[in-house]
Amino acid sequence: MFRKGRRRGRPRFAYSRWDGTQVGLDFGSDELMGELTDDLLYHGDINAALRRLMQEGFEGAEGERLQGLRELMERLREQRRERLEQHELGGVYDDIAEKLRDLVDMDRQALQDLAREAAESGDERRQEITDEVVGERRMALDLLPPDLAGQVRSLQEHDFTSDEARDRFDELLDELREQLMKSTFDQMAGSMADMSPEDMARMKDMMAELNQMLDERSRGEESDFEGFMERYGDFFPENPQTLDELLEVMAQRMAAMQAMLNSMTPEQRAQLQGLAEQLLEDMDLRWQVDQLAGNLQQAFPDLNWGQSYDFSGQDPLGWAEAAAMMEELGDLDQLENLMKGASSPGALAEVDLERAAELLGDDAARSLDRLAELARMLEEAGLIEQKEGRLELTPKGLRKIGQNALADLFKQLTRDKMGTHDLEQTGQGHERAYDTKPYEFGDPFSLNIERTVRNAIRRTGGGTPVQLTPDDFEIERTEHQVRSSTVLMLDLSLSMPMRDNFLPAKKVAMALHSLITTQFPRDYLGIVGFSEVARELQAHQLPEVSWDFVYGTNMQHAFVLSRRLLARQTGTKQIIMITDGEPTAHITPGGEPFFSYPPIRETVDRTLQEVARCTREGIRINTFMLDPDMGLRHFIEQLTRLNRGRAFFTTPETLGDYVLVDFIEQKRTLLGNRRRAG
């Protein structure tokens, strides 16, 4: 399988954790949460938002690109296509057949030279004996079977005339044995040519023990893996740490060999299978290898032993090249399957980054490494946490989403609209002006330590201890406070997402919550969502709030809940309603919701009755209409006449501007009125 730590025999690549000095992919938790904000506001699920970001990737503030899984998988598939369109597997068969033909031709030439030398010697007896020998050997060469396995078997028994041909045949057998064993034992195969009979017997013992451990594993029994490695560890330069790790690597190589056979024509496959069986018979290993292959297929069925590839290129591959190619293709398949099945960033931590770099390049490996760290970055920053196997936003994460929504909306506002308290009057209050003044008798003693000490040092010229006098004292300026209480009524009816109004509306809710809690912490903000019925929403629920899959816009019920919430509050009271539809539902005297479209007169009347109650209790209603139709416009005209609130006809793109600017301007007005009254 394509996992970390499985390829210890491969060259090492210089990978390290991000420390800020490397080029590219330099982003932190704040930037990451910024990328997630809109998705979280729309769908309300941090787990799903991370999965979507993992799939799509994103571009950082400096233009660096974090490749998502879709992009990486397309790159992976292109790598596979390039290999298949460039190469063909006929060379595996042709390469061996050609080498056999060459050494047979070499031996035929040696026979011809031998006969010629005998004829030229003038010795009739010698010529007679030589002709007989040459005739027998030529006949043996003429009668060589057509299949590779048969040719190898016959040539093993053949009395070569050419020493060079005999040497080349022995070298070819050693090479084929090495390639065959490499499909199972990789680096161990390099020593096959130099094995003594004792070494061969020891290898067969090793394979017998492997098969025994596989049987024990299938029965759930413990195996003496450490003892096995003490006896046979020199066969495995990869230094596997567990039995499963050892078997997994071997299974992957055997599956790659099987995939190569599956990808050949029936003739090529029969030729190579016969040759492999002949070589294994020659080494007295056939039974052990066949049993090992069967055991590994049972132990690792997910390796897809029936895989085949459609090679369509012109570049022939020899056996060694084909074996390496099949392993690459197998690794590409495993990496693709791992990425397809990754349901969370943590699943990508299993990727072998070194192998990914070999197959897809360093940029892809870096992207995979960073994708694997997405959730960890947010957890370490305190923005999300694990709860019952799922990721959830922390209070800090909730605040961060609100800040991001607020910052996103404020980007569209000019600087003069961003102020909050524009008062010249100062005195004892509760909200800091983030400015200081020299202390005067009667001022509240809200001492600014930094400015005070700086004044003393400037006066004395430095030195310790610092001596303070009353003239050094500098205090914080504060502003008179005016408290306001607001309920945001958020339309959650099905028309909101259908008209692309839901995300802007929810972003405004998060931004308004962030604005009030950070700039006006003594103000009250309640939230009421409404569709067929209305319900109170808590701030921590906002990221997960979604639209309701029901018909109905029950403003009447929402006004009832909003009025009850504001009845428990003090200060200036207002309702901010964001909607895209006229009232189409109300609560009946029996307490049941009633829906009708077009709205009936009773629904409109009951809704306006609640507006009148709000008006009598001093609650101002400001309405922000998204894509209003004539029915909504007509209803809002009646509402504003009753309540004397204001109505804004806006769009999803400008909704945030209207709401935030209006809220801030209202605070300015209230503060200005307080100043004039004082």
Question: How large is the C-alpha radius of gyration of the chain?
Answer: 41
Predicted confidence (pLDDT) per residue in 4-46, tens digit: 444 433 333 344 444 444 444 456 777 888 788 777 776 677 8
193: its two tokens = 């040519």
Q: Answer for the pair 504, 543: CB distance below 8 angstroms, yes or no.
A: no
Q: What is the DSSP string of 310-323?
A: ----SEE--HHHHH
Q: 322, 367, 363, 360: which is closest to 80 by C-alpha? A: 360
The length of the chain, given as a count of residues: 678
H runs (alpha helix) in 87-142: 90-121, 124-142
Asked whether residue 495 carries a pLDDT value surpassing 70, the answer given is: yes
Helix (H) or strand (E) holding 360, with range, is helix 353-360
Q: Answer for the pair 377, 28: CB distance below 8 angstroms, yes or no.
A: yes
Q: 565, 34, 600, 6: which is closest to 248 by C-alpha? A: 6
- In the Cβ-directed half-sphere of 571, how many Cα atoms lie within 13 Å? 18
- CA distances from residue 586 to 528, 548, 594, 633 in whole angstroms, order as listed: 15, 16, 5, 19
Q: How many CB atoms lie within 10 A of CB 27?
A: 19
Assess whether the previous peptide bond of 628 is cis (omega < 30° from 0): no
Which of 384-398, 433-447, 524-538, 619-633 is predicted most confidently? Answer: 524-538
Predicted confidence (pLDDT) per residue in 278-298, tens digit: 777 766 677 777 788 888 888
Lowest mean pLDDT among 53-57, 238-242, 581-585, 625-629: 625-629
Domains and CATH numbers, the chain: 33-87+332-393 (no CATH), 90-310 (no CATH), 431-479 (no CATH), 484-677 (3.40.50.410)
Q: Answer for the pair 141, 112: CB distance below 8 angstroms, yes or no.
A: no
Name, in order, each residue with C-beta under 8 angstroms of 677's C-beta and a sequence gap of 6 or more: none
Q: Is the pTM of this model over 0.85?
A: no
Per-residue pLDDT, 469: 84
Predicted confidence (pLDDT) per residue in 571-610, tens digit: 889 998 988 889 999 999 999 999 999 899 999 999 999 9
Q: 520, 609, 624: which is closest to 572 by C-alpha? A: 520
> What span, in angstroms and rounded, lies between the C-alpha atoms of 207 and 288?
6
Work out the widest C-alpha separation in the chain, in whole angstroms. Answer: 142
